[in-house]
Amino acid sequence: MKNLSETKFALSYINKYGSLMAQGNGYLGLRASHEEDYPGQVRGMYLAGVYNRPAGSESAELVNLPDIAGMRIELDGQLFSLQMGKIVEYERHLALGSGLLTRRIIWRDPRGRLFELIFERVVGKTRGTLIGSRVSIKSLDQAVGAVVTTGIDGQQTNFGTQQLVEEKLHVAAGDFMVGHYETIESDRKIVIAAKVAPGGVITAKNRQIKSQVTLDLEPGQAATLEKIAVVCSDLDIEATNMEIGRSFQQKDDSSEAVFATLESGALAKLADRDFDWLKQEVAQEWTQFWGTGRVMLESKEATANIDQLALDFASYHLEIMTPKNDPRMSVGAKGLTGEGYKGHVFWDTEIFIMPYFLHHSPETAKNMLLYRYHHLQEAKEKAQKYGYSGALFPWESAFSGREETPEFAAINIRTGKRQRIASALAEHHIVADIAYAVWSYFQATQDQAFMGKYGRALLRETAEFWLSRAVRRDGRYQILDVIGPDEYTEHVDNNAYTNYLAAFNVRQAMRFNQDETDFCHRGADFLAKLYLPAAGSDGIVPQDDTFLTKPQIDLAKYKQAQGKQGILLDYSRAEVIDMQILKQADLVMLFYLLPQLFSADIVAQNLSFYEERTIHDSSLSKAIHAIVACRSGDVATAYRFFQEACLIDLGGDPHSSDDGIHAAAAGAIWLSAVFGFAGVDTTGVRLRFAPRLPAAWQKMSFHFWWQNEKLHIELKQGSIKFSKSSTTELEIEVNGKLLKLTGEAVEERI
Ligand code: BGC
């Protein structure tokens, strides 16, 4: 498997690679910041669920924890920094296959002496995370005295906001540096312990505890320092006796008792562990993951070089962003790789990220839905606050389950005033997106127990919201004043995506709540009278009531610089809203989610109409266009969209991912390969395939979980082959033809 590599040191890329090469396990994320400091370098370590609401702020932020990656290296008093001296050789690799981050440098210091430095870092795959790092320094020409200083640095902030109080720093069990921290508002308790070998002199000052280690470098001989650390929080303790329905906020034990438990657990985890042990352990776990987690391609075309790397990058990041079995936490829009969107959870999770897990590890997908179930109460409170019934899930959420969307966004370029973010007030499609995810979970698992206990209630409460949200106008139910997925169009009536998904939501809720006669009666009335925008005589389905009446402008300039939201530097948001401009897939999103709604002709026509008006300023857009283009038979265009989607994080833009990778885009890369090119459709009674491989690919293979079966699918130009884990018969369809899969491999011409 190819590494993700950086072959040149450049300050301008430091934060992009800090995000791209981040390591983690779904509970902890560690940015790939360099050991040594650089101006503008953002260090970052985050724990899923550890948020804090700073004084005076309306939204909670994913807390940037004390740093353990930093190291100060002095060589006979000369500070090691690539901003000085000369870089003779430089390479950095994240081995996606084994989770190991390495950096090798040959450096001529300002005094003309030559050194080789090799840094390695690895992050454990289990919760209560172990983190190992090692630096090996070789003086290539003369004897040198090196001093390496490293420890736990509590001076980290979220862009200047201090989120933690240091409760205690001390040395335990002889040579373990230990820090106790508590988040200021949310009272989360965190313990970090670290140990270096060889040991050094430990000091504590200015919210830092550090060990200073002296190494004698003989010419040509490497001297090595290892550091092993562990990070735990009180969320880990509570996880051991957690049940759905119980208040997770309740804290019975005294602070001291919690810290004591955390510290003894942390030290026990570190005992007898060293870097090599951890490196091997983590490599094994990653090997296991890749056994089924990968889409494998074969291609002879140089143009396809990025494709496999992008798919591996996507699977790697999906794996490290997602907590596996703790419903108190879900996945933020940047995973755990940075502070973008303050670590908040959006519709990205259910619609873009969950499918990968649904078809690899359904229990993890279930966890995402349990997170929503667990916060039904807060969603009901939000609905009530605005005069609605049922559950109105927050547009952005964190630990509390309450609305966390910040009030203001960028400055209006015309007025100089900050513009309000309307999403919390009107981007209500998230309610139906969650319902859609519940339904898709059932489609893929047939998990009746889940539906009875949780799914049914989620569907019912979300449906109740729509029944109360719609208003009677002109003899029909209409859904007024919403924002659809396209965030460059605000406060519109009857957004097609929203209306169709609301109908879908209500229909599924009725299916799973048939004994609720009053509800079903109201649901049937809603479905009979809800206005569902249809294609006009020209074949175009209106995105909303007014979109087609708005003026159009030439978007070429903005499309070229897509992802940068450059249009908002030329026009105010209010002006953008009044033009035919889409930030991202909207109706195309509907075509993707509900492929049977419209005829192939209508889909193709609308795809081309709306794409012309779409800047793709959101990372959620391109890959979905790839899927819909592929289904429409335009594989070349689909492949172009796919490749552009692959570059959202991996492309050359130095700042595309400074504040974290685009989590939904990672999910969407996988979606476009599997739901696009392999042509998977999970919306019917049977699993369906309508494959269309790009001309550049000879072969694509992947694993896919479906209704308790582990399928393996191998796709070539002209054929598709299935094998599966059991001998039970499973009916599927390939291009409309029924196939019965049993234990034997089945190959079909396409
Ligand atoms: C997109 C939303 C998305 C959010 C978080 C916004 O730019 O318009 O659709 O949910 O980013 O990724």
Q: For residue 85, report the distance from its CA to the centre of ligand 1, in Å.
A: 43
Q: Note whether residue 451 is domain-resident.
A: yes
Q: How far is it, in rounded angstroms, from Cα 372 to Cα 326? A: 12
Kindly indicate the confidence band of residue 450, based on its pLDDT and cuts at 50, 70 and 90.
Answer: very high
Q: Note whether residue 45 is domain-resident.
A: yes
Same domain, 381 and 460: yes
Kindly indicate the confidence band of residue 523, based on its pLDDT and cuts at 50, 70 and 90.
Answer: very high
Q: Note whether residue 749 is domain-resident.
A: no
Q: Note whether residue 171 is domain-resident.
A: yes
pLDDT recorded at residue 305? 87
* Alpha helices in 490-621, H assignment, sequence order: 496-512, 517-529, 556-560, 567-570, 573-577, 587-593, 600-612
- Ligand 1, atom 12: closest residue by C-alpha: 333
Concatenating the DSSP letter of every residue in 156-225 gives --BTTB--EEEEEEEEETTTEEEEEEEETTT--EEEEEEEEES--EEEEETTEEEEEEEEEE-TT-EEEE
Tell me the residue range of the domain where 407 lies.
305-677
* Alpha helices in 615-694, H assignment, sequence order: 622-631, 635-650, 663-671
SS (H, E, C) 497-523: HHHHHHHHHHHHHHHHCCCCHHHHHHH
Same domain, 464 and 565: yes
Would you mind telling me the total number of residues written for the chain in this entry? Answer: 750
Same domain, 510 and 657: yes
| Residue 614 in this model has a pLDDT that exceeds 60 | yes
Q: For residue 615, report the distance from its CA to the centre of ligand 1, in Å.
A: 14
Same domain, 13 and 119: yes
- Which of the residues are catalytic? 487
Cβ-proximal residues to 284 (8 Å cutoff; 6+ apart), any chain: none
Q: How far is it, in rounded angstroms, from Cα 625 to Cα 620? A: 9
Q: For residue 461, report the distance from its CA to the centre of ligand 1, in Å.
A: 24
Which atom of ligand 1 has the smallest separation from the CA of 663?
Answer: 12
Same domain, 348 and 476: yes
- Ligand 1, atom 6: closest residue by C-alpha: 618
Q: For residue 298, report the distance from its CA to the centre of ligand 1, in Å.
A: 33
Q: What is the CATH number of the domain that holds 520?
A: 1.50.10.10
Q: For residue 396, report the distance from its CA to the centre of ligand 1, in Å.
A: 10
Mean pLDDT of 233-241: 79
Q: For residue 31, report the distance from its CA to the centre of ligand 1, in Å.
A: 22
| Residue 258 in this model has a pLDDT that exceeds 90 | yes
Same domain, 30 and 86: yes
Phi, psi of 145 (to 5 degrees): -95, 120
| Residue 244 in this model has a pLDDT that exceeds 80 | no
| Amino acid (one-letter) located at 220 | G
Boundary-marking domain end, from 228, 258, 286? 286
Same domain, 490 and 444: yes
Mean pLDDT of 699-726: 97
Same domain, 512 and 464: yes
Q: Is the model's pTM score more than 0.85?
A: yes
In the sheet that 737-741 helps form, which strands lie side by side, from edge to edge? Answer: 680-681, 687-689, 730-734, 737-741
pLDDT recorded at residue 241? 47
Q: How many distinct helices (H) and strands (E) make up the chain?
A: 23, 32
Which atom of ligand 1 has the smallest separation from the CA of 620?
Answer: 9
pLDDT recorded at residue 428? 98
Q: How far is it, in rounded angstroms, from Cα 609 to Cα 541? A: 10
Q: For residue 605, report the distance from its CA to the centre of ligand 1, in Å.
A: 26
Which atom of ligand 1 has the smallest separation from the CA of 662?
Answer: 12
Count of domains observed in the chain = 2
Kindly indicate the confidence band of residue 303, based on its pLDDT and cuts at 50, 70 and 90.
Answer: confident
Q: Which of 141-145, 445-449, 563-567, 686-690 has the lowest mean pLDDT?
A: 563-567
Cβ-proximal residues to 701 (8 Å cutoff; 6+ apart), any chain: 295, 296, 712, 713, 714, 715
Boundary-marking domain end, from 652, 677, 702? 677
Kindly indicate the confidence band of residue 245, based on its pLDDT and cuts at 50, 70 and 90.
Answer: very low
Q: Note whether residue 646 is domain-resident.
A: yes
| Residue 419 in this model has a pLDDT that exceeds 90 | no
Q: For residue 577, report the distance from its CA to the centre of ligand 1, in Å.
A: 16
pLDDT in tens, 96-129: 999 999 999 999 999 999 999 999 999 999 999 9
pLDDT in tens, 152-164: 999 999 999 999 9
Q: How far is it, in rounded angstroms, from Cα 658 to Cα 16? A: 4
Between 487 and 173, name the one with better pLDDT.
487
| Residue 251 in this model has a pLDDT that exceeds 60 | no
Same domain, 209 and 337: no
pLDDT recorded at residue 105? 98
Q: Note whether residue 684 is domain-resident.
A: no
Same domain, 269 and 322: no
Q: For residue 160, report the distance from its CA to the centre of ligand 1, in Å.
A: 24
Share of the chain above pLDDT 90, in %: 93
pLDDT recorded at residue 240? 57
Q: Are 729 and 686 in contact, with CB atoms under 8 Å apart?
A: no
Q: How far is it, in rounded angstroms, from Cα 101 to Cα 455? A: 40
Kindly indicate the confidence band of residue 242, based on its pLDDT and cuts at 50, 70 and 90.
Answer: low
Which atom of ligand 1 has the smallest separation from the CA of 347?
Answer: 10
Q: Note whether residue 598 is domain-resident.
A: yes
Same domain, 486 and 364: yes
Nearest to 613 by CA among 547, 563, 659: 547
Q: Note whether residue 533 is domain-resident.
A: yes
**Positions of E strands within 28-143:** 28-30, 45-47, 51-52, 61-62, 72-75, 78-79, 86-95, 100-108, 114-123, 130-139
Residue 389 to residues 319, 362, 467, 507, Cα–Cα distance (Å): 36, 30, 8, 17
Boundary-marking domain end, from 627, 652, 677? 677
Residue 136 to residues 5, 106, 176, Cα–Cα distance (Å): 20, 12, 21
Ligand 1 test: best mutation among 618, 657, 659, most atoms within 8 Å of CB?
618
Cβ-proximal residues to 262 (8 Å cutoff; 6+ apart), any chain: 180, 189, 190, 191, 232, 233, 234, 236, 237
Q: Are 598 and 632 in contact, with CB atoms under 8 Å apart?
A: no
Arithmetic mean of pLDDT over the chain? 96
Which atom of ligand 1 has the smallest separation from the CA of 346?
Answer: 10
Pocket of ligand 1 (CB under 6 A): 333, 341, 346-348, 485, 487, 583-584, 618, 620, 664
| Residue 246 in this model has a pLDDT that exceeds 50 | no
Which atom of ligand 1 has the smallest separation from the CA of 333?
Answer: 12
Ligand 1 test: best mutation among 428, 487, 592, most atoms within 8 Å of CB?
487
Same domain, 236 and 355: no
The first and second tokens of residue 62, run together, are: 């994913």
Which atom of ligand 1 has the smallest separation from the CA of 486?
Answer: 8
Q: What is the CATH number of the domain that holds 262?
A: 2.70.98.40
